[in-house]
Chain A
Amino acid sequence: MAKLDSKIPAGPLAEKWSKHKADIRVVSPANKRKLDIIVVGTGLGGASAAATLGELGYNVKIFCISDSPRRAHSIAAQGGINAAKNYQNDNDSVFRLFYDTIKGGDYRAREANVYRLAEVSNNIIDQCVAQGVPFARDYGGLLDNRSFGGAQVSRTFYARGQTGQQLLLGAYAALNRQIAKGSVKSYPRHEMLDLVLIDGKARGIITRNLITGEIERFGAHAVVIATGGYGNVFFLSTNAMNSNGSAAWQCYKKGAFFANPCFTQIHPTCIPVHGTQQSKLTLMSESLRNDGRIWVPKKKEDVELLRAKKKKASDIPEEDRDYYLERRYPAFGNLVPRDVASRAAKERCDAGYGVNDTGLAVFLDFKTAIDRLGEDVIRARYGNLFQMYEKITDVNPYHEPMMIYPAVHYTMGGIWVDYNLMTTIPGLYAIGEANFSDHGANRLGASALMQGLADGYFVLPYTIGDYLSHEIQSPKVDTNAPEFVEAEKGVKEKIAKLFSIQGKESVDDIHKKLGHIMWENVGMARTKESLEKAITEIQALRKDFWKNVRIPGTNEEFNQELEKAIRLADFLELGELMARDGLHRQESCGGHFRVEYQTPEGEALRDDEHFAYVAVWEYQGPDQEPKLDKEPLVFEAVHLAQRNYKD
């Protein structure tokens, strides 16, 4: 348990970060030049961290699996980024942002980390504007805001429906500047396949060049994992096709602890599944809930007519519509947090009110807003999202309401890190979605971008210096060390083993099966039985994978099937850990909804007495049950309460 030291500084919550910054050590410019840092992943966290570390003078190597750092999936974030600027004079503050985030996370996040996140949120906006991020502005030339779920203030900064793209382009531009200067070296189309430890410290990684198949070694004094979440374990999710949990999983298998793996966010507003050949789900930004109203018909006969396409949504009169979020949560209405909105949609669909042919969809209607503001205003706010919707579904959302349904979107769980964002392996850091630290059991909208950039720009560059200040005497890491040789051998053997199977099923065939098991049993509603079933089924499927998968071609070429297979092999282990974690957590909180634990109104019922902790899993070896550790969550500034979005 000694390993699980969260290193939260003492003192009042609001002063912890300042005090900590004053206390930690720094590295002199002359010494920074001698230190190497590896950053894996080029999303908001990775790109901003690498750029900032490069500016500071470290030698940085940055790796991504895409053809360019700009493709990282942060780019797909649509709605916005939160900050406690209080530009709208609606009584927002660092504390309020902190409080909303802790509450939105259903009191399963670490207070000190969340407070720090809220604290640096304002710096992020300043930084991004200075970089030339074209945030939306009002006619006076100042920045505009909109509202997001789980908040009663307008604190979300946005750039049309492409905020993630614009923020990432800002970070990518800063990264490019460092690449041009030579302080950062970029390795696109390189996938990290293993972490290398020397004397217990993270000292490098093994990568595969995705074009040539070459297995390469890279050494450094510290390694930063910024590889995002593992939502693709569900096969169908809003994550990009290549998003995966493999880098994080290799760290776990090398000794980094994994925290709260079962906390998965199911986003309420996604375009519903249309058929069995679908490969990807598309998110419709949460910002749409600013002006869109969610409803299903009140009458079953209307539902039947809708499904039979004999009636259009716009034909159903106002009095026959059930705006169930406004009905159940009058105070927040359509802007309840994502987990609440998703469950409410599922509840209506389970009750038989789903409006499309599969019965798994609800309406998101803009008629009221269009009547109030005019089509032009709505077009200016959400034009690109409406266009995207129409291209995919062939339905014009200006005339007919959108159909939406929840889908897997984000994973709050991730590699366990302390206050310094260091994992349980010295010298190994995890930032952004890849770590577990800030969102508890449910992330609020527009907070992922905030966390990625907070970690990368303003937290990690300070805290990593504290660790590296002890490494200034360490020479350049020798990649011919036996540990590197061993790790490379392991990777090569794994690849050779995958090719040797030559079974009958494609990677996708098996991945779809895994996704099905996960969605049915570890999805929006979980029970003891479903989770146990998932564990058994995943174990069986994993065996099947290693007997039956077929990977065409060779390693020494651009082989996308091999890439997918390596990732799926990890998902097949990760999925089991998610189920295990869900099984052990006998309460409902945030995105983790155990059917056995709910209030009479069907809300998540937490058990603070027994589960107010971070569940931290420690790898024990292949096919061994992992060991559970607990980091107790101590709440000093907020009072634990049943989340209330009703009044």
Chain B
Amino acid sequence: MNLTLKIWRQKNAKAPGKFVTYKVENISPDTSFLEMLDILNNDLIHKGEDPVVFDHDCREGICGMCSLHINGFAHGPDTEITTCQLHMRKFKDGDTITIEPWRSRAFPVIKDLAVDRSAFDKILQAGGFISVNTGGVPDANTIPIPKKDADESMDAAACIGCGACVATCKNGSAMLFVAARVSSLAKLPQGRIEGARRAKAMVAKMDELGFGACTNTGACEAQCPKGISIAHIARLNREFLSAKLKD
């Protein structure tokens, strides 16, 4: 396959950026999208140009490090995958592919296609945990949990913290990310104990960091590589509102 790439290049957080057009040739349809970028970068290095910076690590869709807004979609035009799992067979020979960094006020661009998602860490630090120290915990089977609840908790816990929800949301809202964590813990008896405190603290931090509000478009769910349902947002709303009403 031969492709034209329109890639956002930006020297650093402060510099203005622009699109630069590149050509890549003889790409196998079995190549992954990031391998295609590796090929481009190798060419650029040999030509003495600066390679394109993009975040990536595990390349199997679980670490959440890769991002990229490809042809108008977070993680590209396929469902329930991350960019690293996107393969070139999803494109046609001769296509022009526009690659942009994720855009949101809370995720400033660091360089080229890499953005700073440390806001997510901060939200989780505000309350995305169960307050137990190491040791002194009961035997694992002393807390029976209905399979349905454990499964639902796991559905939410599948979140990889990639930020596609924020990137794709027209409001730059992190509600799906926050909801996934709150909901996952709220479904477990261990997590219920500080459920109210958690919901309030995490939402407050999310608002403080400049994420937008949820308007229930469901775009996040559609682009979430782990298919996390916005039903979890409903649970977050419930948790948050009932916690606030009790105050």
Same complex: yes
A51 at the interface (CB under 8 A from B): yes
* A245 to B12 CA separation, bound complex (whole angstroms): 29
A325 interface residue (CB < 8 Å to B): no
Cβ–Cβ < 8 Å partners of B49 in chain A: 552
Q: How far is the CA of A211 from the CA of B109 in the complex (A)?
A: 11
9 sample A-B contacts, Cβ–Cβ < 8 Å, listed by A number: A55-B134, A165-B160, A166-B157, A283-B60, A392-B85, A394-B89, A457-B134, A457-B135, A506-B45
Residue among B44, B135, B184 with max Cβ neighbours from chain A (10 Å):
B135
Nearest Cβ on chain A to B13's Cβ, whole angstroms = 9
For the A-B complex, the count of residue pairs with Cβ-Cβ distances under 8 Å equals 225
| Chain A residues with CB below 8 A from B42, complex form | 506, 508-509
Chain A minimum-CB-distance residue to B27: A277
B residues with CB within 8 A of A:
11-12, 28, 30-32, 34-35, 38-39, 42, 44-46, 48-51, 53, 55-65, 78, 80-81, 85, 87, 89, 110-111, 114, 116-118, 120-121, 124-126, 128-135, 137-141, 143-147, 150-151, 153-154, 157-158, 160-161, 184-185, 187-188, 190-191
Q: B85 and A162: CB pair below 8 A?
A: no
A164 and B157 CA atoms in complex are apart in Å by 12
Determine if B154 and A126 form an interchain contact, defined as CB atoms under 8 angstroms apart: no
Q: Distance (Å) between the CB of A197 and the closest chain B CB?
A: 30
Contact in complex: A241, B56 (CB < 8 Å): yes
Contact pick for B184, options A134, A275, A279, CB 8 Å? A134
Enumerate chain A residues within 8 angstroms of B133, measured Cβ to Cβ.
52, 55
CB A62 to nearest CB in B, in angstroms, measures 12
When distances are taken between beta carbons in the complex, the residues of chain A under 8 Å from B28 are 274-275, 277
Minimum C-beta distance from A199 to chain B (A): 32
In the complex, what residues of A have CB within 8 A of residue B63's CB?
66, 70-73, 75-76, 240
- Name the interface residues of A99-157: CB closer than 8 Å to any CB of B: 123, 125-132, 134-143
Contacts of B58 in A (CB 8 A): 71, 73, 75-76, 240-241
Query: Is A176's CB under 8 angstroms from B124's CB?
Result: yes
Decide if B134 touches A176 in the complex (CB within 8 Å): no
Pick from A131, A162, A391: contact of B129, CB below 8 A.
A131
Contact of A173 among B129, B160, B187 (CB under 8 A): B129
A242 within 8 Å of B by Cβ?
A: yes
Since A126-B137, A132-B191, A277-B31 are in contact, a sample of 13 more A-B pairs with Cβ atoms closer than 8 Å, ordered by chain A residue number, is A125-B140, A127-B132, A127-B134, A129-B140, A132-B188, A141-B145, A160-B158, A174-B134, A241-B56, A277-B38, A458-B134, A504-B46, A552-B48
- Do B45 and A561 touch across chains, with their CB atoms under 8 A apart? yes
A550 to B44, CA, bound (A): 11
Measured between alpha carbons, how far is A135 from B131 in the docked complex, in Å?
Answer: 19
Does A219 interact with chain B (Cβ within 8 Å)? no
Q: Which residues of A contact B62 (CB under 8 A)?
A: 75-76, 162, 164-165
Which of A589-645 touch B at CB < 8 Å?
none
> Which residue of chain A is the closest to B132 with respect to CB atoms?
A130
Q: Once the chains bind, are A240 and B111 in contact (CB under 8 Å)?
A: no
**Contact among B117, B145, B191 with A137 in the assembled complex (CB-CB below 8 Å):** B145
Contacts of A52 in B (CB 8 A): 133-134
CA of A508 to CA of B42 in the docked complex: distance in angstroms? 8
The 3 closest A-B pairs by CB, nearest first: A141-B144, A173-B129, A130-B137
Cβ contact within 8 Å between A279 and B150? no
Asked if A176 and B60 sit within 8 Å, CB to CB, the answer is no
Residues of A within 8 A of B50 (CB): 552-553
Q: Which of B85, B126, B143, B190 contacts A391 (CB 8 A)?
A: B85
Known contacts A159-B157, A274-B30, A552-B45; decide if A280 and B190 are in contact (CB<8 Å): no
B111 in contact with A391 (CB, 8 Å): no
User: CB distance B144 to A140 under 8 Å?
Assistant: yes
A387 within 8 A of B: yes
The proximity string for A residues 216-256 relative to B, scoring 1 for CB distances below 8 Å and 0 otherwise, is: 00000000000000000000000011100000000000000
Give bound CA distance, A87 to B139, whole Å.
11
A67: which of B59, B118, B147 is its contact (CB, 8 Å)?
B118
A169-B157, A506-B45 in contact; A134/B138 too (CB < 8 A)? Answer: no
A526–B32 CA distance with the chains assembled, in angstroms: 32
A558 adjacent to B153 (CB under 8 Å): no
In the complex the two chains form, what is the Cα distance from A160 to B157 in whole Å?
11
Any chain B CB within 8 A of the CB of A30?
no
Q: Find chain A residues with CB under 8 A from B64 CB.
A: 70-71, 75
Q: Does A388 contact B (CB under 8 A)?
A: yes
- The CA-CA distance from A141 to B147 in the complex, in Å, is 6
**A236–B35 alpha-carbon span in the complex (Å):** 13
A128: chain B residues within 8 A (beta carbon): 140
- The answer to whether A558 and B114 have CB atoms under 8 Å apart is yes
Q: How far is the CA of A283 from the CA of B118 in the complex (A)?
A: 28
Contact B85 A388 (CB under 8 A): yes
Q: State the CA gap A423–B210 with chains docked (Å).
A: 45
Output the least CB separation between A446 and chain B (Å): 16
Inter-chain contact A241/B31, CB cutoff 8 Å: no
How far, in Å, is B228 (CB) from chain A's closest CB?
13
How far is A614 from B46 in the complex, measured between Cα atoms in Å?
44
The answer to whether A68 touches B121, judged by C-beta atoms less than 8 angstroms apart, is: yes
**Is B190 a contact partner of A387 (Cβ separation < 8 A)?**
no
* Chain A: CB-nearest residue to B131: A177
Specify which chain A residues have a CB less than 8 angstroms from the CB of B48 in the assembled complex: 552
Beta-carbon nearest neighbor of B48 in chain A: A552
Alpha-carbon gap, A66 to B184, bound state (A): 24
B190/A129 in contact, CB under 8 A: yes
Give every chain A residue within 8 A of B147 (Cβ-Cβ).
Answer: 137-139, 141
| A188 CB-CB contact with B under 8 Å | yes
Residues of chain B within 8 A of A280, CB atoms compared: 32, 35, 59-60
> What is the minimal beta-carbon distance from B131 to any residue of chain A, in angstroms?
6
B201 shortest CB reach to chain A, Å: 9
* Complex contact B146–A141 (CB within 8 A): yes
What is the distance, in angstroms, from B240's C-beta to the closest C-beta of chain A?
19
**Interchain CB contact under 8 A, B128 and A176:** yes
Q: A606 CA to B228 CA in the complex, in Å?
A: 50
User: CB < 8 Å: which of A71, A142, A561 contacts B65?
Assistant: A71
Residues of A within 8 A of B57 (CB): 66, 71, 73, 240-242
Complex CA distance for A143 and B145, rounded to whole angstroms: 9
Contact between B144 and A130, CB atoms less than 8 A apart? no
Chain A proximity of B66: nearest CB distance (Å): 10
Tell me which residues from 300 to 356 in chain A have a Cβ below 8 Å from any Cβ of chain B. none
Q: B198: shortest Cβ distance to chain A, in Å?
A: 11
Question: Is the CB–CB distance between B56 and A134 below 8 Å?
Answer: no
